[in-house]
Homo-oligomer: A and B are copies of this chain.
């Protein structure tokens, strides 16, 4: 398929697909006239990239993981595994922080609600 179809299937912009290639996250074959062509697996690949972006990984970091995704071998899985473990830990910490923040937000909401009900004390800064 060509770039437009890939983009719409994966739900991203054409610009993004070109950017991923520019960053070395995605490869394509070129027609004689220079147009990019992709196989179906590229859709999954783009989805994977999106997921990693959503997790807060940068292009740089995703690149480090790709050798293992593409062609796992004893050599590349060593460093990639380390990297993945590292990112996994970061994610876990991040998730915990977000949960704490959500709790803080809940606390603020509770205070505001209480205030609305019986015009109580000032709402302390969230903790």
Contacts and interface: CB of A to CB of B under 8 A. Distances in A.
Give the number of times this chain occurs in the complex, counting copies: 2
Contact of A68 (B78, B87, B88, B108): B108
Chain A interface size range: 35 or more
Interface stretch (A1-9, A14-22, A28-36, A98-106): A98-106
Interface of A: 41, 44-45, 48, 51-52, 54-55, 65, 68-69, 71-74, 77-78, 80-81, 84-85, 87-88, 91-92, 94-95, 97-99, 101-102, 104-106, 108-109, 111-113, 115-116, 119, 122-123, 125-127
Given A41-B125, A92-B102, 9 more contacts: A52-B101, A68-B112, A71-B122, A72-B123, A73-B115, A78-B116, A81-B116, A87-B105, A88-B102
